[in-house]
Structure 1
């Protein structure tokens, strides 16, 4: 501590010595020069008239300057002012906020603001800010296109938006209008943003289809961009009249009369008087029109028709003629039916009856009245002893025109033919009677009875088979025959439908358990009927072992993930469904002799089931069974790849190779492909831009890549698909014109498939919001196509209600080269009602699609049904070809009842009480069985939901 104090004293002494004296042994340092500097943030600003902006002024002091600094700003634009907060910066304050205000008189354009900082004893500092005052503007909102009749007028609703401080009046003018069309300029006041312009079309103006004209908004010192709506001028209607008679057909009795209202309809602005006249009245008939001349405000006249007793009976056609000045004469016919003289006649539904002794028979007796309304009495004569004739009713009154003649034949009546005469008699108004008669010949045969026969039946273990039991009735026997069966082998049960037969046949269904005794058997059928001895017959049956047996139709499954849980077939349209078990290599063989069906159930995702049913001819079923492996082949490669040359969120890359497809969007470039077909195939890729405008969505490709006959190893990476590389080509385009969209949401797209196994499922064109005019589609240039390649151009009109499709119609064209084409959509699908009928709810819900075959969609139809209950998805697809229906004009496609077929799990069926989404689709390929140049496929569908 003492050393520190001594050192401090030494320093003080040294300082005292160096501070004075006469010599120049010391140096004096001058004080630093005070300085200030300012910086602006930001240094640029764009401010409209009437608006403000701010910048922060930051002060930097130097040379120990501590004085106050005053801020100021100047500009050559006199309408711009600057205010500072604070305007003076004392020592310790380093920033101020400058508020820039642009007045209404400020000059537009670029100007420089100079900011100055000054203080006492220091050099002033400056900094500049680049200010832009934008010009005032006016935006005119788009308007809808106009349609005006010649000689008429229309209005345009106007909406403007003022920008950049503009507040004045706005005048909207229309220019480039067609000849004969005028529209006065309309001014929207400073306080308003909307108005209405009136467009007048002279009667002499020519018709025009979507003529473009210009609307321009202007204001003092303001800029704007014109818009170009379109005007359609339609032809004025021609003045005319039409006639209508109500009723147009009347009936009267000779000597009577009636009326018909004659209505005149004026069209095309015709308002003149109309004169009426009647011609072609026969002798004995007079006509009167009240009034005969209809003034401009009168539309109806009463035609009174009167007859005498001498008028001829029959049909007479009166002609009513209407004339008016400047309009074409019109006529209307009134058909007058004059009834003849009152009379009656009777007829028998059958004039020859047969009945066995001890039985009965009957026929209907029908009365025809002619100008007679009173009661008619019936009576039967000529019946022999033992035959009782009864007429029910025996008196026909009012609207009752039929009676039943019942002939009860006693067992004692000898066989032979007996004429029975039915007499009818009725009273005439004013006195007298009229009568008629008809003869019914009764042939009596021997006593009643019946015989039975049964066709052979065949069934598999676990399946069913049927036999038709035929009942041949004799002697007029029409009673109920009760059927029973006995002598069945072990494990086989049987049932009749109906068990109480009132007709000539009954279906006997045999059901064999999985362990039923195999081999031939003979069962006994016994019939019992009241008053007749029991009748028996035998039926021959065969039980075969279950398993994947042989047959002329084979279905094969190649993809292990698509192996079915269960398969069944049916031979014919009414035969029993029989389970088919797998043979070698997942094949299922069965026999179809003409037409029939095949069905299978597969797992569908997690805890789901999918049932497929297909009805067709043996040849069609063969093709369908082989197509399963083509659609779901075994194995397949996995590939990866990368797109190059993509930019923007709405630009995408799409690639298809060997039946697999992948895409990349939103700035991503990598993709993965699975299930790529083995061997050589083709690769197609496109770069496309998506445009969304309201409800319209379009996808337009601008580059494509085609690589033929490639075979990339499984697990490898495809060489980069660079849309900016030399191998990329510019897609071709064509125009597709669609007629008859009928108000649906129109989609017009094109896809491409090569002859080497690649289908480019690219949807290019108007995905939604297409129009009935020309729609652009995209594909490959003709120079890049080869034999076997096809462009698929598809136009679809979908009717959407509450954001859900309810029906659709589609046309697909197959052509190698892309070219301008026109398509016409067909009619709506002709279904009955909604197209869907619930036919059962147990043991699972079953539905039916029904309707009428149409020539436009005459090859095949589908019914699709799906539901999700408690996280279990169930779907059924039931399809049938026209060949299956054997030329019938209507169709009914049912979900079959498989509950009695061995191995079927009713849990695979739809659940009753839960909503089912369904679709019915019919299509036609013009009879084509393969894809060829010019192939056209038409389809129509309906969609909906139903709770069975």
Structure 2
């Protein structure tokens, strides 16, 4: 190695006999100006290798030395090995840039399509603006695994390139080292050490299992009570499916805990950097986390190719026909201009499903231009993929909906939307009727007649005000549809939203006090107002927040967790739009009112339950 340079080697131990304990590593015999560090310095029972990084300062002396590596454990004799070291002098070249890598250590399972994302940062000095070539040496001690820079050239004036890490199938768990080398003609080469930790899947009593590839996070961490954040290693493929799901397993010994996930997000620029990321963070009781984990594949099922079609008659020319099927299947009807049309349902999950259709007619305009006339409900259908459904006829098989009137209070004269949905125990969430934004406080609530209902059926009514800077919402459930009154809650008390500390400004925090209508939950949504935005959805339940109505919700600091990449954080100088939500409603931003659009609300659907929420919005700049 050269003066002012560094190099890395892998140190491997072999435990013998009955010994299976922890081993501590150390190095001695270092010449002046040379230092050594191990990652990790202590090998737990499941780890058998570490990376030794040797660094020579600018004041180190050229020459040869023999280093002694010592490994010690309780109840066993210390074992040693030696390493020959040569430090060479090099002709001094000017420094035009320095580099840093993020993360310094990736943490991945072996194989199954998993990869890690990082970045090489280039800091230019002394007026240098030219291109920089970046290469990564092969990982020491690993065959097939690699860390690569792409693109391999950082363009003139640019400041970073991507790092990708991949652990090959069959790679033995351990830590493997490589050197990032950055060069530019006429300037001194710059180096940084990077490591790949290959880990066995994490274990624990809770399994957060994913069945859809688009939902599998690139990074998953958990916090037990107020303890340190811990990286969770997945068990399963990166491209999870219903037949080959991926589980992140962990245990919680404290009454409360937290889960943080990072996934790829929006890509809105032409930059080669992987920059768009989306976070989900949950602060909950241990029981709530276990419950949310158990419902992942129900809330986000795998996409399928199963589909079925059937003929539909019994409507008037150009009526609106809405088709819904269980477990987020996609249903639609063809043109209703003729006497019959074709109904198609696709993305059907395995097993039986419920099918629901409404026929609505257009009135003469006004505030309710579309009125449901007939509904058609079939249960337990189970055709083969590509199969044909029995003919459907609104006239002979359909029935008229029952109707109640919802009288909304505390509207403050605001316009608001409303929708009616029908839910079954088989996962059907069917849009019944939607009314546009207007001020009238009486809204029709449409439902299924009592003689068509089964245990577990529910009707859902959602109303949301149209004030995007201070939205309020009500979600109500009933087994049967009746006339009733509902009130919007008060406006959300203004939250205090601020960037974090000087050293970690991206740790945005929201604090405040909730009214009794909203005390059960507080959420904060953050989204950068620049290209390739980071977006963060952070939810805290009252069980985590503690007694009372106060809340304190913040983006977590994951910097100490193995494999975390600081590049995923909010960026310095970025304007970040925030939305704080009090209560159990849409936890997203005012622009993402998915509940009013889709009917899938982030609450427990229970007969008689009423959930209220309110939002406030603003902007904070990351210093």
Equivalent residue, structure 2, for 1:566: 219
Q: TM-score, normalised by structure 2?
A: 0.58
Q: Which runs of 5+ in 2 are unaligned?
A: 1-22, 28-36, 46-172, 175-198, 237-244, 268-273, 586-601
Count of matched residue pairs: 405
| Alpha-carbon distance in 2 for matches of 1:662, 1:867 | 35
Equivalent residue, structure 2, for 1:892: 552
| Alpha-carbon distance in 2 for matches of 1:650, 1:707 | 20
1:68-107 map, 5 Å:
none
Kindly indicate whether residue 383 of structure 2 is the aligned counterpart of residue 709 of structure 1: no
Equivalent residue, structure 1, for 2:500: 839
Secondary structure of the residue aligned to 1:831 is coil
**Residue 692 (structure 1) shift:** 8.6
1:140-159 map, 5 Å:
none
| Alpha-carbon distance in 1 for matches of 2:470, 2:410 | 14
Equivalent residue, structure 1, for 2:427: 757
Among residues 558, 573, 578, which one is paired with 1:913 in the alignment? 573
Superposed CA offset, 1:35-77 (max 9, x none): xxxxxxxxxxxxxxxxxxxxxxxxxxxxxxxxxxxxxxxxxxx
Equivalent residue, structure 1, for 2:595: none
Equivalent residue, structure 2, for 1:742: 412
**Residue 895 (structure 1) shift:** 0.9
Among residues 521, 534, 549, which one is paired with 2:202 in the alignment? 549
Secondary structure of the residue aligned to 1:778 is strand
* RMSD of aligned residue pairs (Cα, Å): 3.5
Q: Which runs of 5+ in 1 are unaligned?
A: 1-487, 493-511, 521-543, 800-804
Among residues 359, 383, 389, which one is paired with 1:687 in the alignment? 359
Equivalent residue, structure 1, for 2:284: 616
Q: Is the 8 A contact 2:499 2:505 kept in 1?
A: no
Q: Is the 8 A contact 1:549 1:590 kept in 2?
A: yes
| Alpha-carbon distance in 2 for matches of 1:843, 1:823 | 44
**Residue 698 (structure 1) shift:** 4.8
| Alpha-carbon distance in 2 for matches of 1:860, 1:661 | 31
**Residue 615 (structure 1) shift:** 0.7
| Alpha-carbon distance in 1 for matches of 2:455, 2:279 | 38
Among residues 595, 605, 617, which one is paired with 1:943 in the alignment? 617
Among residues 296, 308, 317, which one is paired with 1:628 in the alignment? 296
Superposed CA offset, 1:71-116 (max 9, x none): xxxxxxxxxxxxxxxxxxxxxxxxxxxxxxxxxxxxxxxxxxxxxx
Among residues 33, 36, 43, which one is paired with 1:518 in the alignment? 43
Residues 655 and 553 from structure 1, CA distance in 2 versus in 1: closer, same or farther, beyond 3 angstroms? closer
Residues 905 and 650 from structure 1, CA distance in 2 versus in 1: closer, same or farther, beyond 3 angstroms? farther
Kindly indicate whether residue 543 of structure 2 is the aligned counterpart of residue 874 of structure 1: no
| Alpha-carbon distance in 2 for matches of 1:828, 1:667 | 43
Kindly indicate whether residue 475 of structure 2 is the aligned counterpart of residue 812 of structure 1: yes
Q: TM-score, normalised by structure 1?
A: 0.39
Q: Is the 8 A contact 1:844 1:909 kept in 2?
A: no
**Residue 721 (structure 1) shift:** 4.3
Kindly indicate whether residue 273 of structure 2 is the aligned counterpart of residue 601 of structure 1: no
**Residue 814 (structure 1) shift:** 1.2
Superposed CA offset, 1:503-526 (max 9, x none): xxxxxxxxx986442249xxxxxx
Q: Is the 8 A contact 1:659 1:758 kept in 2?
A: yes
Among residues 886, 901, 926, which one is paired with 2:561 in the alignment? 901
Kindly indicate whether residue 247 of structure 2 is the aligned counterpart of residue 587 of structure 1: yes
**Residue 557 (structure 1) shift:** 1.4
| Alpha-carbon distance in 1 for matches of 2:453, 2:509 | 44
Equivalent residue, structure 2, for 1:883: 543
Q: Is the 8 A contact 2:222 2:230 kept in 1?
A: yes
| Alpha-carbon distance in 1 for matches of 2:317, 2:494 | 46
| Alpha-carbon distance in 2 for matches of 1:680, 1:687 | 24
| Alpha-carbon distance in 1 for matches of 2:393, 2:450 | 22
**Residue 809 (structure 1) shift:** 1.9
Equivalent residue, structure 2, for 1:780: 448
1:110-121 map, 5 Å:
none
**Residue 625 (structure 1) shift:** 1.4
Superposed CA offset, 1:167-207 (max 9, x none): xxxxxxxxxxxxxxxxxxxxxxxxxxxxxxxxxxxxxxxxx
1:163-182 map, 5 Å:
none
Equivalent residue, structure 1, for 2:182: none
Residues 550 and 491 from structure 1, CA distance in 2 versus in 1: closer, same or farther, beyond 3 angstroms? farther
Secondary structure of the residue aligned to 1:897 is coil
Q: Is the 8 A contact 1:836 1:847 kept in 2?
A: yes
| Alpha-carbon distance in 2 for matches of 1:625, 1:940 | 26
Superposed CA offset, 1:130-189 (max 9, x none): xxxxxxxxxxxxxxxxxxxxxxxxxxxxxxxxxxxxxxxxxxxxxxxxxxxxxxxxxxxx
Q: Is the 8 A contact 2:405 2:443 kept in 1?
A: yes
| Alpha-carbon distance in 2 for matches of 1:932, 1:564 | 30
